[in-house]
Structure 1
């Protein structure tokens, strides 16, 4: 049974490290949540380690700059693991070929196509039209507000050519302020439903947790899995990923599932239980907002 809590401090003494989601948890895509940042700062002051684990398709350095722009204090976190870094490593080892068709914004394209420094002999990627590609790299739809059906013609061509799609952000949707946008995960989901093959590197899939653990162990290699708490508002990403990694989770109900869980300051217990039953999910704890 999921336990509803009122603050991170109620449970944080049981954990040496946190794997913390960003959008819907620490910020809303426009600005930081002050109470969330204060809770993380307080946790670190008590000796805890905070690893930000995000499905952002951007490299870590780019996410750091974004967080500064959102006024997330540097004192609130220790390190960052991004889906983009996991996906870039795969791309530059030839996971979908070397002639790739890129789907995403120009900004994401520039950052994604910089080879990771950890690779000694990265592949040389060439961006080509879809009909010349060996594979696809998707950091997100070019128009995040467009109906997903507009992607079908290109995805059908890709499927008939047997192309793999590398998904740099498994999130389906994200809320930027008051606007809901489609993410790369929506493209990959549709491609899979159409019979194509999609490769995922963010939550809830193992590669990003491997990266998060490497970030954590670079700070303190003694932290055990049972002393890690995953925090986030994505039931299909943050919570499912934590369940797959056999680590505890704190579900932020006031994000993507705010209406389903009838969250004001706190979730409605009956609505929360009904939602979790439908999602076949069992987070360890739930809270309205990180605080």
Structure 2
């Protein structure tokens, strides 16, 4: 069902899980109308948790949103796939008494917040591969294939998004590199949307809300994950869905909008 404004259906829900990249902002600046949506939901006393496939941990994502001008009192917190993956690694460390040596796949120089995880520069020496981000288009999928050839370490994909928004347009994301590694015979554990655990964590930020709406720009992740969790879904035709027909996407969302608007 197409809707023009979120305010037209907001009263049906008592909690919202809201994606950030491609919905609230493009990685550099807020989209027009994004702030009004958050302020409208706050005025309606509807709690909002930001739910994101980001290899970075919660604190970095929270600070990014604040730096873009989003007031801290318009969302309960940010739930990230990177935070879940980091805590899983720490639980493993507490169990074994030894942190695994990791090879990190991501953007060079980017701080993902995995500072307590020891790293190696050669993936063949790693106990685990961490797919946190992507250096595309500077590093192609063929280059990643060559780099990972012969590697047998298990991997954790901390950001299942196969596409990411860049200045050069949509480029392969961490999910695409992890998928490539699987095709090469690697074992990958996926953390984030559309998988169930992250929805349990995100819903815990909504104060027991029973009627929850998931809003995102990816049918593959936001709609599929929300539906699997038994939640209502809305697809916004920006970000990775820009240019697509909301009536034809699969899986079908309960609602869709051309852009996020209150």
Instruction: Confirm or deny a common fold (TM above 0.5).
Output: yes
* Correspondence 1:243 to 2:243: no
Instruction: Work out the CA distance in 1 between the residues paired with 2:73 and 2:168.
Output: 27
CA shift in 2, pair 1:150/1:107, >3 Å: closer
Q: For 1:102-181, what aligned pairs fall within 5 Å after superposition? A: 102-109=104-111, 111-114=113-116, 125-128=117-120, 129-158=122-151, 161=152, 163-176=153-166, 179-181=169-171
Cα deviation digits, residues 9-34 of structure 1 (max 9, x gap)? 11110100000000110111110124
Residue matched to 2:100 = 98
Residue matched to 1:268 = none
Please report how far the alpha carbon of residue 177 of structure 1 lies from its aligned counterpart in structure 2 after TM superposition. 5.2
Would you identify which runs of 4 or more consecutive aligned residues in structure 1 move more than 6 Å?
Answer: none
Cα deviation digits, residues 60-89 of structure 1 (max 9, x gap)? 111111112222333432211011101111
Match of 1:67 among 65, 68, 74: 65
Match of 1:258 among 216, 234, 242: 242
Kept in 1: contact 2:53–2:82 (CA 8 A): yes
Kept in 1: contact 2:129–2:155 (CA 8 A): yes
CA shift in 2, pair 1:67/1:245, >3 Å: same
SS in 1 for 2:55: coil
Kept in 2: contact 1:8–1:290 (CA 8 A): yes
Instruction: Work out the CA distance in 1 between the residues paired with 2:142 and 2:62.
Output: 33
Cα deviation digits, residues 22-52 of structure 1 (max 9, x gap)? 0110111110124122012111111100000
* Correspondence 1:288 to 2:244: no
Where does structure 1 lack aligned partners over 5 or more consecutive residues? 115-124, 262-271
Residue matched to 2:209 = 223
Instruction: Work out the CA distance in 1 between the residues paired with 2:137 and 2:92.
Output: 27
Kept in 1: contact 2:112–2:132 (CA 8 A): no
Instruction: Work out the CA distance in 1 between the residues paired with 2:119 and 2:115.
Output: 9
Cα deviation digits, residues 183-239 of structure 1 (max 9, x gap)? 2111111111222111111111112112212322xxx2x322xx0000000111111
Instruction: Work out the CA distance in 2 between the residues paired with 1:28 and 1:151.
Output: 25
User: Would you say how many aligned residue pairs link Structure 1 and Structure 2?
Assistant: 256
TM-score in terms of structure 1 length = 0.82
TM-score in terms of structure 2 length = 0.90
SS in 2 for 1:86: helix
CA RMSD of aligned residues (A): 2.0
Please report how far the alpha carbon of residue 107 of structure 1 lies from its aligned counterpart in structure 2 after TM superposition. 4.7
Instruction: Work out the CA distance in 1 between the residues paired with 2:137 and 2:88.
Output: 24
* Correspondence 1:21 to 2:19: yes
Residue matched to 2:96 = none
